[in-house]
Structure 1
Amino acid sequence: MSIRALLTACLAVTALPALAETHSQMPVDYGPRPAFLIDKMADGALKDELAACLGQDGARSAFSIGHRGAPLMFPEHTVESNRAAARMGAGVLECDVTFTADKELVCRHAQNDLHTTTNIVATDLAGKCSQAFTPASGETKASAECRTSDLTLAEFQTLKPKMDAANGDATTAEEYLGGTATWRTDLYTGDATLMTHAESIALFDSLGADFTPELKSPSVEMPFDGFSQEDYAQKMIDEYKSAGIDPSRVWAQSFNLDDILYWIENEPEFGAQAVYLDDRYEAEDEDEGLIDPQDPATFKPTMTELKEMGVNYIAPPLWMLLTTDESGAIVPSPYAEEAKAADLGIITWTLERSGPLASGGGWYFQSVSDAISRDGDYFTVLDVLAQDVGVTGVFSDWPATVTYYANCKGL
């Protein structure tokens, strides 16, 4: 039986809880990376404490969230990526949710990322893409745009997933499929398996993990063929209800505050754990304004107002939660302090998304780049997030790092 057929069958199997119990007992395997990062830390008390845990038995932790599975090495949002994340002890797994032309829900980071996450531009379905592949020419980079909404579910399921990348210098569609970052790998792309949202529910449940689906912003105008934003938000929740998943196991996410408020109003059991992915730092609307993590006056709506709306969890990128003090040490930002003062649970993203930290960590570490100089600083940042900011969960592209820290610290 194929993996896809097995997942489909799991949705109808009444003995699924027994299957989940079996998988939840699988031993956690940290692999070599946590020890490697500890070796790269600056000498000090935290390094000594983490090193003393090297012989510990691993355990699953809800503090550790698989960001699209384990995409540092596996194609994101695939069966294989999420199995790897579960084996690393991630207690919560993510399906980014979008929809196909026939309005079926599937796991993709964006509705318009098929050209970088699958082989579509080199298949017969390339002609259905919103923007056909255009080869590089002179200073103009190669480009394409292929959306899940360009395809039916059946067509989507014929695609082969790959690492999220594209070769901007490509002159052929086949060349465009390359471009994987040097610090990632194509070693595990063979026979990787795409998932529908319903299949992700069955898989994550069978692995003993909880769920954090993200309702992705559509690339098409809504309503789409009569499918409204509210229909979309409701359909995602309905698939958990149909699968018999307890709402306490689901942390539904969205960057769209209206989605969060819809769930709070219409699905209060799910809305109580809905996670507002705060990206107001990118806002251009004068009424919304830009967020400066150092200036609480820019937090619109304020943390207190969010709490009064019924929002209980907020999830900004990790750089918004951190700053440096006069000595150069990493400390919580005023944004983090305001969120805590409003009694908002804080989740953050994404550890180990940027590759090696020797050059300052890139976008995810922009507020503390002066304090980042070595790969071991992943643990330094994680410690401040956990102990000083007080986050309740951390997304990572390699969950073993967060699991190891959580186990060592008893989180």
Structure 2
Amino acid sequence: MKNIALRSVSAVVLSSLSLFTFADNIQLGPRPFYLVDDMDKSPLKTRLESCESGPFKKSEFSIGHRGAPMQFPEHTRESYIAAARMGAGILECDVTFTKDKELVCRHSQNDLHTTTDVLAYPDLASKCSVPFTPANPDKNEEAKVECRTSDFTLAEFRRLKGKMDGANPMATTPEDYMKGTPGWRTDLYASRGTLMTHAESIALFKSLGVKMTPELKSPAVEMPYQGFSQQDYAQKLINEYKAASVAPQDVFAQSFNLSDVKYWISKEADFGKQAVYLDSRMYDDETWRPSASDMKALADSGVNIIAPPLYALVTQNNSKEMVPSEYAKLAKNAGLGIITWTLERSGPLVNGGGWYYQSVQDATNNDGDTFKLLDVLAKQVGVKAVFSDWPATTTYYANCMGI
């Protein structure tokens, strides 16, 4: 009856009420319980089983990576709200910019062709940096296309709808190209995919009562872009939090570009204190190895939080058990806080888990091993938080372990 009564309330008020009322009513859904059931017998499984009745609450250990993109189009209003409902205490807007230099939430400046329906609009598709060229199956040549946020004004960007990230590389039509959702995701919740500006994401996150972790994405265009420098870009991101009166302690600005992090440390000290250096050195350069001097140099430069991929923090011992890696030990010894990415982005784990699990493949053979990895990261590595494509899992673990 309550829901019927609310129908008479204006749409704006109803939206605000709906965001407010679920803040303390976390809904994890079946996946965490499925993963616990799938675990091999162990003390960890027994402990996790003991928590099945909850109650569950929001946790800052749980970061919604692009929202909840296992089932919702990434970086959309719907994806963000789903992640908050699953108890993610921190949400991520990957930040890039449009042709008119407005900040928007997209994982990459040049991913509109795989994450939105841009190819459904001929007038917009014709403006893509690389317009659609059909695949040639006879020659085994894949389709070619590249659509950037910088190809479009903000007004044009707003015409688009988010879709599940994926593409059919052997498509001969734009329509077929957009039909490439991986089988372990779903299009059931992709009928709406409301794209957002960075400023809109801030307003939404405030209403959801969560902290925020924007990532300044590497531009696909040459910088400076129409007089817009990399420093202007980094500063504009921070300025939008200031304009919204967001406390610096509620923002974890991220970048793979160490110069961006050092810029924030130097120019915006309050925000720079918890700026996150996303570390990709272990896969950018196969010869790179972590060292104590390297970790100390990062700490001495003012970096307080480092964020490598999952596999960089774990390895396996002679008994094929997951244990902390040398990287993890050196980072911890240098006093660096550690965040990692991305849990539940690998699909089924029956074949070793794929890229994110490459250092512990022999210790990974079922979906329940998600919790085994999470437990090592939390208890042995000591991570501060974990990005996940389905935050209910990290929320469940954090609640069960009292994090």
Tell whether the structures are fold-level matches, with TM greater than 0.5: yes
Give the equivalent residue in structure 2 for 1:133: 132
Asked if 1:92 is matched to 2:90, the reply is yes
Q: Is the 2:149–2:157 Cα contact (8 Å) retained in structure 1? A: yes
Hey, what's the Cα distance between the residues in 2 that align with 1:331 and 1:362? Answer: 18
Q: Is the 2:24–2:58 Cα contact (8 Å) retained in structure 1? A: no
What's the CA shift for 1:143?
2.1
Give the equivalent residue in structure 1 for 2:279: 278
Q: Is the 2:110–2:147 Cα contact (8 Å) retained in structure 1? A: yes
TM-score when normalising by structure 2 = 0.94
Q: Relative to 1, partners in 2 of residues 1:6 and 1:308: Cα closer, same or farther, differing over 3 Å?
A: farther
Matched to 2:144, the amino acid is: S
> Runs of 4+ in structure 1 displaced over 3 angstroms?
19-26
Q: Deviations over 1:316-341 (max 9, x none)?
A: 00100000011110000000000000
Give the equivalent residue in structure 2 for 1:168: 169
Q: Relative to 1, partners in 2 of residues 1:23 and 1:163: Cα closer, same or farther, differing over 3 Å?
A: same
- Mapping for residues 10-409 of structure 1, pairs under 5 Å: 22-23=20-21, 25-123=23-121, 124-137=123-136, 138-284=139-285, 290-292=287-289, 296-297=290-291, 302-409=294-401
Q: Secondary structure of 2:335's match?
A: coil
What's the CA shift for 1:6?
5.8
Q: Is the 1:64–1:89 Cα contact (8 Å) retained in structure 2? A: yes
Q: Secondary structure of 2:126's match?
A: helix
What's the CA shift for 1:24?
6.8
Q: Is the 1:160–1:194 Cα contact (8 Å) retained in structure 2? A: yes
Q: Deviations over 1:13-46 (max 9, x none)?
A: xxx9xx7993573300110001100000000100
Matched to 2:131, the amino acid is: A
Hey, what's the Cα distance between the residues in 2 that align with 1:224 and 1:342? Answer: 37
Q: Relative to 1, partners in 2 of residues 1:125 and 1:6: Cα closer, same or farther, differing over 3 Å?
A: farther
Q: Deviations over 1:93-113 (max 9, x none)?
A: 000000000000000000000
Q: Is the 1:70–1:398 Cα contact (8 Å) retained in structure 2? A: yes
Q: Is the 2:23–2:85 Cα contact (8 Å) retained in structure 1? A: no
Matched to 2:150, the amino acid is: S
Give the equivalent residue in structure 2 for 1:13: none
Q: Secondary structure of 2:169's match?
A: coil
Q: What residue ranges of structure 2 are gaps of 5+ in the alignment?
A: 1-10
Q: Relative to 1, partners in 2 of residues 1:243 and 1:20: Cα closer, same or farther, differing over 3 Å?
A: farther
Q: Secondary structure of 2:155's match?
A: helix
Q: Secondary structure of 1:132's match?
A: strand
Hey, what's the Cα distance between the residues in 2 that align with 1:22 and 1:151? Answer: 34
Matched to 1:129, the amino acid is: C
Hey, what's the Cα distance between the residues in 1 that align with 2:390 and 2:272? Answer: 28
Q: Secondary structure of 1:149's match?
A: helix
TM-score when normalising by structure 1 = 0.92
Q: Is the 1:263–1:270 Cα contact (8 Å) retained in structure 2? A: yes
Q: Deviations over 1:96-154 (max 9, x none)?
A: 00000000000000000000001112212001100011111021111210000000000
Q: Is the 2:61–2:385 Cα contact (8 Å) retained in structure 1? A: yes
Q: Relative to 1, partners in 2 of residues 1:157 and 1:6: Cα closer, same or farther, differing over 3 Å?
A: farther
In percent, how many aligned pairs have the same letter? 62
Q: Relative to 1, partners in 2 of residues 1:199 and 1:258: Cα closer, same or farther, differing over 3 Å?
A: same
Q: Is the 1:265–1:271 Cα contact (8 Å) retained in structure 2? A: yes
Q: Is the 1:23–1:207 Cα contact (8 Å) retained in structure 2? A: no
Hey, what's the Cα distance between the residues in 2 that align with 1:160 and 1:20? Answer: 23
Matched to 1:136, the amino acid is: A
Segment of structure 1 superposing worse, 355-364 or 134-143: 134-143
Q: Secondary structure of 1:340's match?
A: helix
Q: Secondary structure of 2:370's match?
A: helix
Segment of structure 1 superposing worse, 24-33 or 160-169: 24-33
